[in-house]
Structure 1
Amino acid sequence: MSKDINIVSRGTKQVGQRLLPWIFPIVLLVVWQIASSSGLLENRILPAPTAVVSAFWHLLISGELWQHVKVSAGRALLGLFIGGGLGLLLGLLNGSSRFASTLLDTTLQMIRNIPALALIPLVILWFGIDETAKLFLVAVGVFFPI
């Protein structure tokens, strides 16, 4: 009998451990839905989860979602190629040449410490709100990790 209780206790504990990480996200979604439905949150600022799912489904069915995904993925890949290519090139140059390392490393390390979010106002001034600005931010974001 003790062995049966021990097995049930262990099974209950495993189920609890699997469900525990889901409690906070579910409670957060429920509170968000209630706050949106009751008017505490304006729909134009933070739409209800049901409205988000409905809009997602509508865009998916109409085919419009895939157009947006294609544009975003293209932008991300192009930024990856530009930033990754430059990062790889300068990394190889820095690693293979003492002169290049002496010349470039200090400047690159200073630029690396500037958060990409801090660059957004400057990027808007330099490039405007256009495809070039978005590509630049993606390229900067992948330049240093590569």
Structure 2
Amino acid sequence: MLKTVSAILGIAFVLAACDQAAQETATPPAPPPTKAWMVFFDTNSSKLSQQGTATVNEAAGVAKSMPNAKVTVTGYTDTDGSPAYNQALSVRRANAVKAELVRDGIDATAITVTGVGEQSLLVQTPNQTKQEKNRRVQIVVQ
């Protein structure tokens, strides 16, 4: 009888150890999917083009299909103009995209807006250079 109890306790201990090891090696859940879009702007403008509006509408559609989606909108400029002016312009661009997202049904509280001005150029250029690919807003939905 003592051998049987010892055997049962031994088996229970081994099973518990295996279960704990399995829990320790289990991979964490995958992060939510992230999708990104870029909207480009004319020189010294924060007005969305027809193509820009279509891109924002597409991003909004994806955001609406994801439960509890968070949207990050980051504005950028090229190096033409002063850094202070470009910083403000990047914020205006990001806010223009946010306004369109809200018109498309995205809750404003789910959108974070940042302007970074001349930082993080997509195409590296010297100062005072107009570069259309740097005049952009990036939309990230997660």
TM-score range, shorter chain: under 0.3
Per the normalisation by structure 1, the TM-score is 0.23
Q: Please state which structure has a larger fraction of its residues in strand.
A: 2
TM-score for both structures, normalised by structure 2: 0.23
- Give 1 or 2: higher helix fraction: 1
Between 1 and 2, higher relative CO (CA 8 Å, sep ≥ 6) is seen in 2
